[in-house]
């Protein structure tokens, strides 16, 4: 099974500007928690990768970021799912290797989890996340409500994490005939 690397904002939860700064701001997108649980039950490894420069900029403190992630993890666990790890970069220096769209965050995941990039899929809602994953050699899937319009770009694209998971877990023609 592949390793799925999820972007947080726009994939698991609704975007909040300038950032999801409090647990009350974190709202799972429809079907996202259930989709994550389906992947876990099908044997997929799933991690989260996010770039949170709001911490360095003073718009969010680390304690609040931890509270947000703890609330997110509790909701995921309550829904029967699991994230194996969270990879979070809080810097805002664009030259840092982990700052998106630089590939360092994905290279670090590859090294830490000992999974070759050929065995990874990155599902993200931001162009910076997608660009960083592609720069690291990771296969990408764009999650965008306007998926029909994005299909013209030639990228793999789904309207939601739930739609992507339905596609990935759909039985193949051979399985249906068996």
Where in the chain are the domains? 3-170
- Return binding residues for Mg(2+): 7, 9
88 by DSSP, 3-state: which? Answer: strand
To the query of whether residue 64 is one of the catalytic residues in this protein, the response is no
Looking at the domain covering 3-170, what would its CATH class be? alpha beta
In this prediction, residue 176 carries a pLDDT of: 47
In this prediction, residue 2 carries a pLDDT of: 87
- Return binding residues: 7, 9, 89
Confidence check: pLDDT of 100 > 80: yes
The whole-angstrom separation of Cα 88 and Cα 28 is 19
Convert the pLDDT of each residue in 27-43 to its tens digit.
999 999 999 999 999 99
Convert the pLDDT of each residue in 126-146 to its tens digit.
999 999 999 999 999 999 987
pTM: 0.90
Instruction: Specify which residues 48 forms β-bridges with.
Output: 6, 86
Instruction: Specify which residues 125 forms β-bridges with.
Output: none
DSSP string spanning 65-85? HHHHHHHHHHHHHHTT---SE
The whole-angstrom separation of Cα 143 and Cα 139 is 13
In this prediction, residue 88 carries a pLDDT of: 93
Share of the chain above pLDDT 70, in %: 91
Q: Tell the residue number behind the tokens 């070759």, with chain if given.
A: 116
Residue 106 near residue 49, CB atoms below 8 Å: yes
- Return binding residues for Zn(2+): 89
Identified catalytic residue from 7, 64, 92, 152: 7
70-79 contacts: CB < 8 A, separation 24 or more?
A: 70/23, 71/23, 71/26, 72/8, 72/12, 72/13, 72/26, 72/28, 75/26, 75/28, 75/33, 76/33, 76/36, 76/37, 79/33, 79/34, 79/36, 79/37
């Amino acid at each position: 099974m592949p390793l799925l690397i999820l972007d947080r904002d726009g994939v698991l939860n609704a975007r909040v500007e300038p950032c999801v700064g409090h647990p009350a701001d974190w709202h799972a997108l429809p079907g996202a928690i259930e989709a994550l649980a389906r992947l876990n039950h099908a044997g997929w490894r799933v991690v989260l990768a996010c770039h949170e420069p709001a911490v360095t900029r003073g718009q969010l403190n680390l304690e609040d970021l931890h509270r947000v992630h703890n609330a997110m993890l509790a909701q995921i666990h309550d829904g029967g799912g699991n994230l194996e790890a969270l990879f979070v970069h809080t810097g805002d220096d664009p030259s840092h290797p982990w700052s998106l769209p630089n590939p360092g965050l994905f290279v670090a995941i590859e090294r830490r989890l000992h999974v070759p990039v050929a065995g990874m899929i990155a599902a993200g809602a931001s162009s910076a996340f997608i660009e960083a994953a592609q720069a690291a050699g990771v296969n990408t899937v764009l999650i965008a409500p306007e998926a029909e319009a994005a299909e013209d770009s030639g990228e793999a694209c789904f309207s939601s994490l739930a739609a992507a998971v339905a596609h990935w877990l759909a039985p193949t023609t051979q399985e249906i005939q068996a």
